[in-house]
Amino acid sequence: MADLAGLVSDIASRLQAATDRGRVADYIPELAKVSPRHFGIAVITADGTEHVAGDAGEAFSIQSVSKVFALVEALSRHGNRVWDRVGKEPSGSAFNSIIQLELEQGRPRNPFINAGAIAVTDLIAEGRSPGEGLQSILALIRRLSGDETIDLDAAVAWSEAATGYRNAALANYMRAFGTIAGPVDATLSVYFQQCAIAMSCRQLARAGRFLMAGGVCPVSGEAIVSPERARRINALMLTCGHYDASGEFAFQVGLPAKSGVGGGILAIAPGRASIAVWSPGLSPQGNSLLGTRALEQLAHTMRWSVFNPDIL
Amino acid sequence: MADLAGLVSDIASRLQAATDRGRVADYIPELAKVSPRHFGIAVITADGTEHVAGDAGEAFSIQSVSKVFALVEALSRHGNRVWDRVGKEPSGSAFNSIIQLELEQGRPRNPFINAGAIAVTDLIAEGRSPGEGLQSILALIRRLSGDETIDLDAAVAWSEAATGYRNAALANYMRAFGTIAGPVDATLSVYFQQCAIAMSCRQLARAGRFLMAGGVCPVSGEAIVSPERARRINALMLTCGHYDASGEFAFQVGLPAKSGVGGGILAIAPGRASIAVWSPGLSPQGNSLLGTRALEQLAHTMRWSVFNPDIL
Amino acid sequence: MADLAGLVSDIASRLQAATDRGRVADYIPELAKVSPRHFGIAVITADGTEHVAGDAGEAFSIQSVSKVFALVEALSRHGNRVWDRVGKEPSGSAFNSIIQLELEQGRPRNPFINAGAIAVTDLIAEGRSPGEGLQSILALIRRLSGDETIDLDAAVAWSEAATGYRNAALANYMRAFGTIAGPVDATLSVYFQQCAIAMSCRQLARAGRFLMAGGVCPVSGEAIVSPERARRINALMLTCGHYDASGEFAFQVGLPAKSGVGGGILAIAPGRASIAVWSPGLSPQGNSLLGTRALEQLAHTMRWSVFNPDIL
Amino acid sequence: MADLAGLVSDIASRLQAATDRGRVADYIPELAKVSPRHFGIAVITADGTEHVAGDAGEAFSIQSVSKVFALVEALSRHGNRVWDRVGKEPSGSAFNSIIQLELEQGRPRNPFINAGAIAVTDLIAEGRSPGEGLQSILALIRRLSGDETIDLDAAVAWSEAATGYRNAALANYMRAFGTIAGPVDATLSVYFQQCAIAMSCRQLARAGRFLMAGGVCPVSGEAIVSPERARRINALMLTCGHYDASGEFAFQVGLPAKSGVGGGILAIAPGRASIAVWSPGLSPQGNSLLGTRALEQLAHTMRWSVFNPDIL
């Protein structure tokens, strides 16, 4: 096996110095303030070893990466009823597109585009106060990371709520079709807050360990989800985790992964590693530019792509 | 490891007896004549062992499964220039949809929907007669299968050409944008013929072996494509191989695979197996109903999903 | 000239007895309570004569017919700045479709589909309280009708607000693009209330007289809009007044007209007559079935189509 | 009445000198050769007086203006069966868009977009040789114009056929749904040739007289179509005659009219005048820029808009 520690540190050095860093998301004012200079990486392997480099300890807004944890929480609470509300197909369109909703009677394509994630959040919030809904997601993330200090960044949540008109359009549209059953404002409130959860690469990689390990947290031994469900969540991350660049990511990197417009990506090499990268500059499709490059180099060198024959 | 021979034979017995068999494609008259009673399966493992059951020796129309071999041929001939013509993203729409072409200036989303495959075929036919174009695809398939008897079914090719108006619409539309550069009729002629290639499950599983083995034919030792390219073709098969049911297939089965409306599916368990199944009845999205079920049972029992942690 | 009085009364008799009456709108609960048995008609000719029949004196919810008056009010207040926000083209899609908004950067096709009307209302409400915005529309309608008793039906307004998720989606979507500048809730509140204005056929026909008469109210002699603007509003009513059935209406009837899901239609025969009809049962496109039939018979018999040569 | 002769000559002088002349269509190579300097106008009033100015005697490619005559011919031959194949609604999209066809099962929105006109031509060619189909359209135009010399420009027809891939896509797509029943190549051949008919403004204005006069040719007294049908064709020209700029044209000019990418427009003031203008430079939507301006000035000064009250 390649020297993973050296590789992680090499990747960080190279990418910290990169000049083409993409564009920081500016449609949420609070996110626009983050410097594009950041780069962090954390890799946790199956045996529990942690390799970190760069700004791996600095918290950032996980944004859409939270959709993975929200899905886990909704599946735990409602089981496969979740799939009555959202599909499992790549959308073929942008993360915030509303066209598909009209063409398909208000049913979002998958839980990792905004519409789908809002529908998932609505299920989590069902029969609860918005506060309880949010706390259940936070509690899951804290448990997975083994870190009770993780919390949301209220300024970001506020900023999202104040400018989240397209998400409000999606939520109202789905409410008209019954895809969302609860009060639109309450569901959006939970959604904006879950997106504003702040985590470091190290915390995020820890939170992803159960997906590397067949659904079991390798530290506590707790079964978070069944092996079947872990496999299926990985499949969804691979086909839908990068919006309308999911195909390209699978082609280049070959790992289940979920990105967020805060510049973070959580990637899973099943049986091998849970990986988190962060760099705020984005590609036109809204995925971290340097984060993607880091994962490409890591997966290539380590031969971690799920499409490699020598995964044997 | 589970008893693969027994499993293959079990699956065949069960599915030969299944009553809900889907609907045989009827838009190509010649295909509509095939009996839905057929079921065949062939599994070739990394060590070269072949397990076959049911109608594994009977030839069927491979239809869109040919898109995998056409892509390999085009990449061999033109390298990454192929990606100037077609994308790598799931389309989010039906196999024969033309909407995406208009919204994206005549560039098809990926090489495994009809439009993309026609563009790939156009590259193969570039600077050649239609006959030479077709022969190059046939030659590749014969070499991969080690079987010089494989040929096309002229009646099916003729039937497709006579009713292929939607494909003609796609080809003409792309020609208007330069995605196709050659004469539309010549390109369509090669396309209709490549779809009409007839193969048995056994032949098809053999032809897929190089994708299981990092690009190398395990029998001849010949490098068909680079390991990198094999990995990437697998990625495309996983994200785009089942049209607008690709996400569901990844979720349920978790293997790179390409289906055809003749009822065949070629699936790859990287490092493990090359698998071909055939049953003519289709799901509403145009994928073999029993073929999919067979792959689900096989992948589940053998733990072959690429999203499993124990691929280690 | 035909005997108009006799014709109006004939039409009413025939249509009151009609058995195929369409379907009363049910997506606004309060509207669903209205009996489909109603039919009313009022025709006011250029010389001021009024012919009424059936339920011409009974108030109904004018719904989208209010979009004509809102447009007049916005043009009076903001002039051609209105056209920076909305277009003048038929939409080719349903009254509440959101697809066009995404394809055209949040700019609605015309002021007579829901999105366009909401954008117009936002201009009216600009720099005012919602109450003032609504009052300005009501004041215009009362002035045009010469009837200070016209008011909104609060139960309908409330019912619309409580179920208006698709309109809320449209408003939020446009707010994201700046097509709407004010607070979404305030704009929607004015919009839902303007739709709930209740008028009788007689009142509505009176309110439309200025469009028959080159912009001048024939009773008061007041210039409501310039002749140019009156002509152009008539043009918009003809091309866009019946959503995605506007072409059919122009083909069959040939008059500028605006329909509402309450079952009312205001139609203008320039230089000849202002006409209001009402019957709550709707066609699949959301236009009054018997109202359309009444206008067809009236326009045909009176030779009032704007496409007739003998308008000379 | 204004001095029409002086007005026509004024308009010609001003527009011949205009500097912003739009862009000559370049997607048909033969059309791209035409100089943008041309401007012609011909106005024939109800009493038969002809006013011409500029290049009113020079033949140009009528292109889509031919769709009006093809529709008349198809209606004469097949009656309302035509409406089984095409709709009567504005399309809301570009003249050569294919999206609407997929969303609406291969049925074109109206006979004045390319898809609809091809479907109409297919009906004309039904049961005939392509040559007979074309001759029937030519014969109608010659009869209406009283000019047996009118013919097609073979170089233009050839140029269109050689580059008409988008039209071929539309035709093949409709053939797949049965909207077109005949051989695609034969139908396209008639279509390309009818578009290549060359006429002068004077000839075109003469050919349009029957639409001004309730369906009757004012010279021969022959009833070309019923008054009802003439009125309805006028309605279609108003709602659909300028593709996705039809609403704007109705708003600005207010006359039924059909434009072609050769730069010609035929406009009808019912009961008043048949008008033809020509200037090759186009707006972005594909309509003659100066032709539209000429019609706007003419309609405004003469008060010919069908939406004016003083049409009395």
Mutation for D interface: C251, C252, C311, most D CBs within 10 A? C251
Residue B165 a catalytic site member: no
Q: How far apart are CA A31 and CA C181, in angstroms?
A: 23
Which residues in chain A touch residue B218, judged by CB atoms under 8 angstroms apart?
none
> How many residues can be counted in chain D?
312
Q: Tell me, what's the ipTM? A: 0.96
D179-202 core/surface letters (b: 16 or more CB in 10 A; e: else)? bbebebebbbbbbbbbbbbbbbbb
Q: How many CB pairs under 8 A join A and B?
A: 150
Residues 6+ apart with CB under 8 A from B269: B212, B255, B275, B299, B302, B304, B306
Q: Are B89 and B162 in contact (CB under 8 A)?
A: no
- What pLDDT does B2 receive? 60
Domain C66-197, CATH:
3.40.710.10
Which residue in B has a C-alpha nearest to residue D180's C-alpha?
B165
Q: DSSP character for C40?
A: E
Q: How far apart are CA B189 and CA B157, in angstroms?
A: 9
Tokens of A162: 């104040």
Domain B4-26+35-63+198-304, CATH:
3.40.710.10
Closest CA to D306 of D226, D208, D210, D238: D238
The chain-wide mean pLDDT, for chain C, equals 95
Closest CA to D200 of D269, D134, D268, D153: D153
Residue C88 a catalytic site member: no
CATH class of the domain at D65-197: alpha beta
Q: How far apart are CA B194 and CA C94, in angstroms?
A: 42
Q: DSSP character for C26?
A: -
Averaged pLDDT, B216-221: 94
Averaged pLDDT, C176-203: 97
- What pLDDT does D2 receive? 60
Q: Domain D4-63+198-304: give its CATH architecture.
A: 3-Layer(aba) Sandwich (3.40)
- What pLDDT does A311 receive? 47
Averaged pLDDT, B160-180: 95
Residue listed under structure tokens 């739009």 = D22
Question: In the CATH scheme, what is the homologous superfamily, with its name and number, of domain C4-63+199-304?
Answer: DD-peptidase/beta-lactamase superfamily (3.40.710.10)
CA dihedral C233, C237, C243, C248 (to 10 degrees): -150
Please say if the pLDDT value at position B311 is more than 50.
Answer: no
Which residues in chain B touch residue A308, judged by CB atoms under 8 angstroms apart?
214, 227, 231, 270-271
Q: How far apart are CA D154 and CA D193, in angstroms?
A: 8
Q: How far apart are CA C34 and CA A128, in angstroms?
A: 37
Q: For chain C, which residues make up each domain, given as ranges?
A: 4-63+199-304, 66-197
Q: Are A269 and A275 in contact (CB under 8 A)?
A: yes
Tokens of A63: 């944004």
The three-state DSSP-derived secondary structure of A3-39 is: CHHHHHHHHHHHHHCCCCCCEECCCCHHHHCCCCCCC
Quick check: B238 contacting A, CB < 8 Å?
yes
Residues 6+ apart with CB under 8 A from B149: none
Q: How far apart are CA D109 and CA D89, in angstroms?
A: 5
CA dihedral D153, D157, D162, D167 (to 10 degrees): 150
Report the CATH fold assignment for B67-196.
Beta-lactamase (3.40.710)
Please say if the pLDDT value at position C312 is more than 90.
Answer: no
Q: What is the DSSP string of B190-239?
A: HHHHHHTEEE-HHHHHHHTHHHHTTTB-TTT--BSS-HHHHHHHHHHHHH
Domains A4-63+198-302 and A64-197 agree in fold: yes
Phi-psi region at B74: left, alpha or beta (left = phi > 0; alpha = psi -120 to 50): alpha
Q: Please tell me which of the candidates A93, A245, A307 has its beta carbon nearest to residue B234.
A: A307
- What pLDDT does B309 receive? 84
What are the tens digits of pLDDT across the range A123-136?
A: 999 999 999 999 99
Query: Yes or no: is domain A4-63+198-302 CATH 3.40.710.10?
Result: yes
Compute the nearest-CA separation of D156 from chain C (Å): 31
Residue B191 a catalytic site member: yes
Helix, strand counts (H, E) of chain A:
15, 10
Residues 6+ apart with CB under 8 A from A270: A211, A212, A231, A234, A256, A306, B306, B307, B308, B309, B311
The tens place of each residue's pLDDT in chain D, 312 residues long, gives 569 999 999 999 999 999 999 999 988 889 999 999 999 999 999 999 999 999 999 999 999 999 999 999 999 999 999 999 999 999 877 777 888 898 899 999 999 999 999 999 999 999 999 999 999 999 999 999 999 999 999 999 999 999 999 999 999 999 999 999 999 999 999 999 999 999 999 999 999 999 999 999 999 999 999 999 999 999 999 999 998 999 999 999 999 999 999 999 999 999 999 999 999 999 998 999 999 999 999 999 999 999 998 644
Q: DSSP character for B65?
A: G
Which residues in chain B touch residue D26, judged by CB atoms under 8 angstroms apart?
none
Quick check: B236 contacting A, CB < 8 Å?
yes
Q: What is the CA radius of gyration of chain A?
A: 18
What are the tens digits of pLDDT across the range D166-183?
A: 999 999 999 999 999 999
Please say if the pLDDT value at position A1 is more than 60.
Answer: no
Please say if the pLDDT value at position B119 is more than 70.
Answer: yes
* Alpha helices by DSSP H, chain C: 4-16, 29-32, 66-78, 82-85, 99-103, 114-125, 130-145, 154-163, 165-177, 184-195, 201-207, 209-212, 227-240, 246-252, 289-302
Averaged pLDDT, B209-237: 96
CB–CB contact B311 A307 (8 Å): no
Residues 6+ apart with CB under 8 A from A300: none
Please say if the pLDDT value at position A228 is more than 50.
Answer: yes
Q: How far apart are CA D143 and CA D150, in angstroms?
A: 10
Report the CATH fold assignment for A64-197.
Beta-lactamase (3.40.710)
What are the tens digits of pLDDT across the range B53-110?
A: 999 999 999 999 999 999 999 999 999 999 999 999 998 777 778 888 988 999 999 9
Which residues in chain D touch residue B168, judged by CB atoms under 8 angstroms apart?
168-169, 172, 184
C191-203 core/surface letters (b: 16 or more CB in 10 A; e: else)? bbbbbbbbbbbbb
